[in-house]
Amino acid sequence: MTMRALAGVAAAILLALPVMGQQPAKPPAKQPAAPQQSAQAALAGAQQAIEEKQYDTAIALLENFLLENPGHGEALFNLAYAYSLAGRNSDAIETYRQALEVEPKLFPARFNLGVLLLRSDKPAEAAEELLHAAELEPENYRAHLFAAAALKSSGRKEEALAHYRRAAELKPDEAEPRRAMLALLLEKNDVAGAEAVLDELLVLQPEAPDLMRLRGEFLLQKNQFEEALATFEKGLEVKPEDADLHLTVARLYRAQGKPEEALRHFEAASRSAGESESAESLRERAELLAELDRWAEALPLYEAAAAREPENAEARAGLGFAYLETKQYARAAEELQAALRLNPRQVKTYDHLASALYLGGNLGGAIQVLDRRATVAEETPGTLYLRAISYDKLQQCEPAIAFYERFLAVNQDKNSDAYFQSTARLRQLKKSCKPRRRG
């Protein structure tokens, strides 16, 4: 638990004296004499007011009592306690300090002061008070737990670990100190230590989805993919609406070449996330559907992703490719050009744009795009072939011959249609093409 989370529950854990109106075991030397009956009546009245949540009344009674009996240890403690319940933390802190001047070994005062300092975002001061409290009562679980939280927040993480361990020893069935230890060990990248604590936590909370997820992540680090998937799936049985975990599992199945399983979890992640589904998740679902040639389903997802992130080059390129595959060449060219404006070094996007322009009949535009591509990446057999057939259709035989020859020189697949078409066209062009006259 974080310092702020602990501080947030501080009001519920502040300690009262065992019996309101009872003097500390060792009466302080400064304690002034007071008529026993009137003192007890005043303190009893204050206690009743506190029990009835009439904190202002209790404060008034105790303040008046202390005007007549300055330095009265129990009254100071009770006043500080009433201040804290009324939300007057700074007054409570000061008054607890006064009570501790009277009785330095009064554990409830030391503990409450530390908790209030923790609540007030003063972790270094809180740590000193709570460490003192833990010294006064070494077997007190809460003293060690809160001391650890204050130490962690003040940067003393090794000491914090020691006190979390002590708290865990004092209450073996409590998960809270172990969870805090786990967070600290992960922060330190102490994987072995974190795994050991995680094993203890899983005994206490065997169906906690976050712990099962963490176990799965540790298994992934060891390349134990099947075990990790089984652990994640078990976590989803407990928390089936965990969109992030579905997304993690979907990605794992996709990486393992199990597209249908991946798609099932992508769709579950989408249902769980609803309108909050990320553009990245939309793109991943679309890509998987594209791999399965389910373009009718993929296209609206690509559109949604691009609408979410219109300045994202990857989103616009994905949408352009989807339009290309669904033979919407003009729309494909528009999106792919937008993607290149956002990121002019996307080589694949040049390829797709050149194809969209060629298939849409804009042969000169396709050649221009390939010229631009050549400034950022080397030519490939595919780009050489597209140049060749574009020049061929434009009846520019000399560049067509040159690019057919370059294509055939680097093409490794001599059984492809492109190879046979190129050899045939090259033979015909060399017979029919007349060199241009110069001069």
Q: What is the pLDDT of residues 55-91, one digit of tens each?
A: 999 999 999 999 989 999 999 999 999 999 999 999 9
Quick one: what percent of the chain has pLDDT higher than 70? 91
Residue 397 has pLDDT above 90, yes or no: yes
Q: Which CATH architecture has domain 1-200?
A: Alpha Horseshoe (1.25)
Burial class (CB in 10 A: 0-12, 13-18, 19+), 184: buried
Domain boundaries in the chain? 1-200, 207-270, 278-354, 378-431
pLDDT value of residue 14: 77
Pairwise CA distance, residues 148 & 170, whole Å: 14
Residue 2 has pLDDT above 50, yes or no: no
User: What's the fold here for domain 207-270?
Assistant: 1.25.40
Q: Which amino acid is at 431?
A: K
Instruction: Calculate the alpha carbon distances from 158 to 149, 193, 208 in Å.
Output: 12, 13, 27
**Mean pLDDT confidence for 402-419:** 91
Identify the DSSP state of 73. Answer: H
1-200 and 278-354, same CATH topology: yes
List, for residues 303-327, the tens digit of each pLDDT value: 999 999 999 999 999 999 999 999 9
**Mean pLDDT confidence for 153-176:** 96
- CA-only gyration radius of the chain, Å: 37
List, for residues 4-51, the tens digit of each pLDDT value: 333 333 444 677 765 333 334 344 444 454 455 577 888 889 889 988
User: Are 140 and 107 contacting, i.e. CB atoms less than 8 angstroms apart?
Assistant: yes
pLDDT value of residue 396: 95
pLDDT value of residue 33: 46
Quick one: what percent of the chain has pLDDT higher than 90? 83
Residue 353 has pLDDT above 80, yes or no: yes
pLDDT value of residue 242: 93
Looking at every residue in the chain, the average pLDDT score rounds to: 89
pLDDT value of residue 37: 59
Q: What is the pTM of this model?
A: 0.66
For residues 113, 116, 122 and 124, what is the CA-based torsion angle, rounded to 10 degrees? 40
Tokens of 4: 């702020």
User: Are 231 and 209 contacting, i.e. CB atoms less than 8 angstroms apart?
Assistant: no
Residue 186 has pLDDT above 80, yes or no: yes
- Residue that has been written with the tokens 């002034």 in this structure: 32
Name the H helices within 188-258. 191-204, 209-221, 225-238, 243-255
pLDDT value of residue 407: 94
pLDDT value of residue 180: 95
Is 278-354 a CATH 1.25.40.10 domain? yes
List, for residues 89-124, the tens digit of each pLDDT value: 999 999 999 999 999 999 999 999 999 999 999 999
pLDDT value of residue 9: 36
Pairwise CA distance, residues 158 & 177, whole Å: 14
Which of 20-34, 173-187, 281-295 is the least confident region?
20-34
**Packed helices 123-136 and 107-119: angle between N→C axes, nearest 10 degrees:** 160
Q: Which amino acid is at 34?
A: A
3-state class (DSSP) for residue 377: coil
List, for residues 203-258, the tens digit of each pLDDT value: 999 989 899 999 999 999 889 999 999 999 999 999 999 999 999 999 999 999 99
